[in-house]
Amino acid sequence: MVAPVEKLLDKAVAIPSATIHAHVQKVRSRNPHATPEQVVRLLEKEYLAVVQVAGGAVGAVAAAPAVGTGTAFALTVSDVATFFGASAAFALAVASVHGIDVADTDRRKALLLASILGESGAAAVQDAAGIGSVRVARSLLTRMPLATVRKVNSTLTRRMIRRQVAKQGGLALGRLAPFGIGLAIGVAGGRALAHTVIDGSRIAFGPAPAVFPEMLVIAPTAPQIPTAPHIERR
């Protein structure tokens, strides 16, 4: 189970930074007088709508008479991938509003996992990294050593798998209900999952800045190339 989830997470966090920043700029251009806090709220509303629609669509199809149980569960796996992708885009967009550009895959994954897990994710990050009241997102994305980030990812992935299996398993069964009930369960389930991520993002980042800051770029960590030993010639 861990390997497929890891693959879904890796795919979700592979969104180009330019795409994220372009989307945030598009939201700002449509709302030229919006403050950073208002832009974050618009991103939250947009993200909520995407996850609800995806959950409802899967519920509507899964409840159709011609769809078997196996197909319904396959659709749920597809819904998980959509959820991860939308959640990653949302979390990185919020980071952009806060003036943080993250290209490192491990740090992006940590941010996504912490957002999905909400309060428990923030607590796990604080325990693993030994940080106090510092905002989790900024610590993960700017100051935390990469080795610690990877340790955090391992802890959060296990915790997230347990939670997602329970939630998505229940939703998959509920979506099989006929006569539009599956659609309603899909929408309600998607809304609940999205609100968890939104709340987790608020915990991780804290209040939006008063003004749009200059972008702080966190580049991928380059692999260390061993140097040849120095040989003293006599």
Element (H, E) at 102: strand 100-102
Structure tokens that stand for 13 in this block: 């966090």
Q: Where are the domains of the chain?
A: 2-210
> What pLDDT digit, counting tens, does each position of 53-90 carry?
776 555 444 444 444 444 444 445 566 778 888 999 99
95 CB contacts (<8 Å, ≥6 apart)? 101, 102, 111, 137, 141, 205
Element (H, E) at 101: strand 100-102
pTM of the model: 0.78
Q: Which amino acid is at 15?
A: I
**Distance separating alpha carbons of residues 37 and 20, to the nearest angstrom:** 17
* Secondary structure tally for the chain: helices H, strands E: 9, 2
Q: Give the model confidence (pLDDT) of 172-210 as tens digits.
A: 444 444 444 444 445 566 788 888 889 989 988 989 999
